[in-house]
């Protein structure tokens, strides 16, 4: 807040107080510029091409490690789950994940997701595995052509 003592003549000896708005205007202009730059970045309408998965062959040390494969298949819009090629209900997946998490050493969980299955079905498997305590999770993909 600035204070002006008025003009320099007789009768102008009383101080007048005024608010200096210059810093306020400067801050507002900086914020306006920041919002103008960041607002387009927050838009969800941006079209992106998701990255392609790369295929890695198993190394010699991976061959001996225990693995569990959960396959999620789309059948008439409904996800169907397989545990190492055995058809299983969703509650069975959760029960077997609990048993798997308690094993020592803990086997790696590999998820094979059908390309036409909804992402929600794969996400549910990942969330349950994380909640239960499975530490090693990976995806099985086809190699790029």
How much is the pTM? 0.55
Per-residue model confidence (pLDDT) at position 112 = 86
> What's the pLDDT band for 62 if we cut at 50, 70, 90?
low
Per-residue model confidence (pLDDT) at position 60 = 46
- Extract the runs of DSSP E, i.e. beta strands, from 76-115: 78-83, 86-88, 108-113
Question: Measured between alpha carbons, how far is 72 from 87 in angstroms, rounded to an integer?
Answer: 10
Rounded to an integer, what is the distance from CA 83 to the centroid of its chain? 26
Nearest C-alpha neighbor of 68 from the set 105, 39, 98, 111: 111
């Amino acid at each position: 807040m600035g204070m002006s003592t008025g003009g320099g003549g007789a009768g102008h000896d009383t101080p007048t107080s005024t608010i200096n708005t210059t810093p306020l205007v400067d801050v507002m202009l900086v914020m306006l510029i920041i919002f103008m730059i960041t607002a387009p970045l927050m838009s969800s309408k941006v079209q992106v091409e998701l990255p392609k998965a790369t295929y890695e062959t198993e190394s010699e040390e991976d061959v001996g490690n225990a693995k569990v494969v959960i396959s999620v298949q789309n059948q008439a819009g409904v996800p169907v789950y397989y545990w190492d090629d055995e058809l299983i209900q969703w509650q069975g997946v959760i029960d077997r994940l609990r048993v798997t998490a308690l094993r020592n050493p803990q086997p790696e969980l590999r998820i094979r997701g059908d390309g036409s299955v909804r992402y929600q079905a794969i996400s549910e498997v990942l969330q349950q595995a994380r909640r239960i305590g499975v530490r090693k999770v990976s995806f099985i993909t086809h190699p790029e052509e």
